[in-house]
Structure 1
Amino acid sequence: MIALLGFLMMTCFIFLIVTRRMSALLALIVVPIVFAIIGGFGKDLGPMILDGLSGVAPTGIMLMFAVLYFGIMIDAGLFDPLVLKILSIVKGDPLKVVIGTAVLASLVALDGDGTTTYIITVSALLPLYKRLGMNPLILTCVSMMAFGVMNMLPWGGPTARAISALKLDANDVFLPLVPIMIGGMLWVLFTAYLLGKKERNRLGILQIDMSKEFMEQQEIAATVESDFKRPHLIWFNLLVTVSLIITLVLGVLPLPALFILAFALALMVNYPNLEVQKKILSSHADSVVIVVALIFASGIFTGILSGTHMVDEMANSLISIIPEELGSYFALITAITSLPLTYVMANDPYYFGVVPIIAQTAAAYGVDPVEIARASVLGQPIHAMSPLIASTHLLVGMANVDFGAHQKFILKWALGTCVVMILVALLTGAISF
């Protein structure tokens, strides 16, 4: 019954946000509370909500200061040369812009962090999309698809958790994933080509004055109007940003601490005047409040999902319905079921709670745990869409698109990525059939 309640809750939640009958923020709060009361967990709501909130607090803090930091970098003009360079390459061609989005997002995603990937990609390319009149849903779709594939790197969250949970060698798990990731990225580029071609047919190859003088005039006008541009500090800001990314990858300090320090340094150096600081913070207040509110709302959702044990029962019920005669196909089944399971679950409960159960069951049918580990990460392009992931809300918030509209737009393309990767996994023998 608890599993059924969990599935009904997820169905109701997805229906409400996709049909835009309720905002993602309200749905993340209202839906789990209602279903928890229906399930008889009303008296335990307080502790479950607090547990969920405490779990996402570091993420919420990190995202708040990350949005503020990169907001300062945008205001100061750090990404203006990059946008100018991209403009000079694409020459007003939407097709090249979308393909460039896929390439940029995949390169930035090498650090394995969705937050950094989305912040840098959207910060650099959203002004370009707006200028060309392109659909920002394409930006969020292609960026998320690229990250979903690149997140399978061994220092990314899913693969690292699978390796750790099953106590496997990283090379044994990851090396066979390389051709799978290549197949996934080829699909992402193919998707980018199709979407870009459609935009090119709609908008045409626009004739834009790309002269350096024109861009400098635009920058001067913006500087006079806002007093936020800091062209003389571009090398300092670049050094701080590169240092931040390197320390993020190396794990020198926890992410919240790194972004807090970077934010404080950037604000102090770029805008020492207190009145200007107030204007800068006020200009980013809306996006910060929305993103952080969504993060804490998702904490309520996950807290109730875990506290009621809905997530455990949902996973166990899906595993239990697999017929015994299909036991030898457990790796393929794991790959397929990873799509819905990783959508409704965070990485930790899935990889540390569900995957070991699957691996233990599969071992009884002669399936090597290393295949289960590989199969479990093939649903990452769908997992990247999950409303339970903080960076998902950051992406749609920064691009200023509706969460439900983004979900509907990306679903078939992300599903296609997973199908391609599963097929490549079967063809290369990374998982047995």
Structure 2
Amino acid sequence: MLSIIGLLTIAIIVGLLISNKITPIVALVLVPIVAAFVAGFGFAEIGDFFNSGIESVMSVVIMFIFAILFFGLMQDVGLFDPLINKMIALSRGNIIAVAVGTVLIAAVAQLDGSGASTFLITIPALLPLYKRLKMNPYLLLLLVGTSASIMNMLPWAGPLGRTAAVLGVDVTELWRPLIKVQVIGILLLIGLAVFLAIREKRLIAKRGDINEELFKERDAPINRAEEANRKTASLRRPKLLWVNAALALAIIGILVWGIVPAGFAFMIGVSLALPLNYPNMKEQMERIKAHAPNALLMAAIILAAGSFLGILNGTLMLDSLATDLVKILPAFVLPYLHLIIGFFGVPFDLLLSTDAYYFALLPIVEQVASGAGVSSLSTAYAMIIGNIIGTFVSPFSPALWLALGLAGLEMGRHIRYSLLIMWGFSIVLLAISVMIGVI
């Protein structure tokens, strides 16, 4: 009975998340409470489950709030602008250089863990280049999305925070083995960008000016983005560039070193960055208010997920579900279940939202695989690496819709152009991760 209730709970939550009719917070909080009542648990017991779940994710919540504030400040002061501008200048006019530059610019822009800011930086800056060279704008979206997805394995980005919340582990410890995967992924993507750029040169020669149709009516969104950039020019602090760079490197160094908790490191970073760049208290409060919505939304979702996981673990629904799945699935499949799910991770992105994938599917796979002797971290890495490349080919990604709006492109055409390439790239990266021992 617990297995049936648990399965229905997860199915309802996934359905609600897919429907986009309610926020993840509502689904993750209310549905498990109703399920716990149906299973025969009372208010006092559900309260204990809630406390247990919240305790397991509190460190992740703190890290997310201050990491988003810190990197939002670094974007405000223009820390990454010189590097991005230099890359654009170096790549101008050469199709292969433009493609490689796109990968590198997107990787730098994604350092704040926000897909929306990455697209706001890259699309307006690079689309005119693609237009001038008659390059397919869907190639721009493919390269930016894949590069941002690789960088999305950072501890202050969404997937690792969700995974850490599910497993109850320190997000920095979870990230360290993935650093080499990120490096390999970017190098592989540069190689893929060169290959696709060579193919693009041949296609441009064949199609002539036909690609001009893809750029009609595209100046308006670019102009709007340029206007927004002008409004934020007053926030830039070019004279403090090297000081801010040293601060950012110091915080990331502390994070990698692990000498203090990640949340504390970013808390220190925010406390130093605010008075350094904005001595006026009113300006400091305005910067906090500007980035607070993103920080608080992610924190609220993680807290809601803590409640969800606390109830499902406390009621033993997950344990019961995993035990019954072990009985149903063939024994030879169980040790490889995490790899099978990872292999189909990108297509899963078309069916499940990020919250549904990590908060509903991951706990079940982790429970089943751990029963077959697979470590929880191996399961997590297989599912992260297999799925994360498809983040920006999924219609469940709000940032992708922003990118499509900025570039004037269509979701269907983007999926047709990018899905198989992203999926193949994901499978290769998954296989390499197995070979180097991360999985």
Q: Which residue of 2 aligns with 1:85?
A: 86
Summarize the alignment of residues 209-224 of structure 1 with structure 2, pairs less than 5 Å apart. Answer: 222=231
Summarize the alignment of residues 15-414 of structure 1 with structure 2, pairs less than 5 Å apart. Answer: 15-43=15-43, 44-89=45-90, 91=92, 117=111, 119=113, 123=117, 126-130=120-124, 141-143=145-147, 145-147=149-151, 185=188, 189=192, 202-203=214-215, 222=231, 227-324=234-331, 327=332, 331-337=335-341, 343-344=358-359, 354-359=368-373, 377-382=381-386, 384=388
Inter-CA distance 249–285: structure 2 relative to 1 (3 Å threshold): same
How much has 1:342 moved relative to structure 2?
A: 7.6
Structure 1: 5+ residue stretches without partners: 109-115, 165-172, 208-216, 360-368, 388-394
How much has 1:253 moved relative to structure 2?
A: 1.0
Moved more, 262-271 or 292-301: 292-301
Inter-CA distance 282–343: structure 2 relative to 1 (3 Å threshold): closer
> How many residues were matched structurally?
369
How much has 1:232 moved relative to structure 2?
A: 0.6
Moved more, 71-80 or 417-426: 417-426
Inter-CA distance 401–183: structure 2 relative to 1 (3 Å threshold): closer
Structure 2: 5+ residue stretches without partners: 128-136, 170-176, 204-210, 220-225, 349-355, 392-396, 405-410
Mapped partners of 2:62, 2:325: distance in 1: 35
How much has 1:419 moved relative to structure 2?
A: 4.7
How much has 1:146 moved relative to structure 2?
A: 2.1
Mapped partners of 1:350, 1:23: distance in 2: 24
Length-normalised TM-score, structure 2: 0.63
In structure 1, what residue type is equivalent to 2:77?
Answer: A
The question of whether the paired residues in 2 share the 8 Å contact of 1:122 and 1:399 is answered with: no
Mapped partners of 2:288, 2:436: distance in 1: 52
The question of whether the paired residues in 2 share the 8 Å contact of 1:183 and 1:420 is answered with: no
The question of whether the paired residues in 2 share the 8 Å contact of 1:184 and 1:417 is answered with: no
Mapped partners of 2:276, 2:326: distance in 1: 55
The question of whether the paired residues in 2 share the 8 Å contact of 1:184 and 1:421 is answered with: no
Mapped partners of 1:303, 1:251: distance in 2: 27
In structure 1, what residue type is equivalent to 2:339?
Answer: A
Mapped partners of 2:255, 2:212: distance in 1: 37
Length-normalised TM-score, structure 1: 0.64
In structure 1, what residue type is equivalent to 2:268?
Answer: L
Q: 1:54-80 deviations in whole A, cap 9, x for unaligned?
A: 221111111111111111111111121
Mapped partners of 2:117, 2:234: distance in 1: 19
How much has 1:127 moved relative to structure 2?
A: 1.8
Identity of aligned residues (%): 25
Inter-CA distance 200–76: structure 2 relative to 1 (3 Å threshold): farther
How much has 1:236 moved relative to structure 2?
A: 0.2
Q: Which residue of 1 aligns with 2:10?
A: 10
Q: 1:256-290 deviations in whole A, cap 9, x for unaligned?
A: 11001111011121112112112222222222222
Q: 1:130-171 deviations in whole A, cap 9, x for unaligned?
A: 5567899868852564258899xxxx999xxx9x9xxxxxxx
Inter-CA distance 347–286: structure 2 relative to 1 (3 Å threshold): same
Mapped partners of 1:98, 1:72: distance in 2: 28
Mapped partners of 2:76, 2:358: distance in 1: 35
Q: 1:225-278 deviations in whole A, cap 9, x for unaligned?
A: x64221110000001111111111111211011001111011121112112112
2:241 match: secondary structure: helix
- CA RMSD for the aligned pairs? 5.5
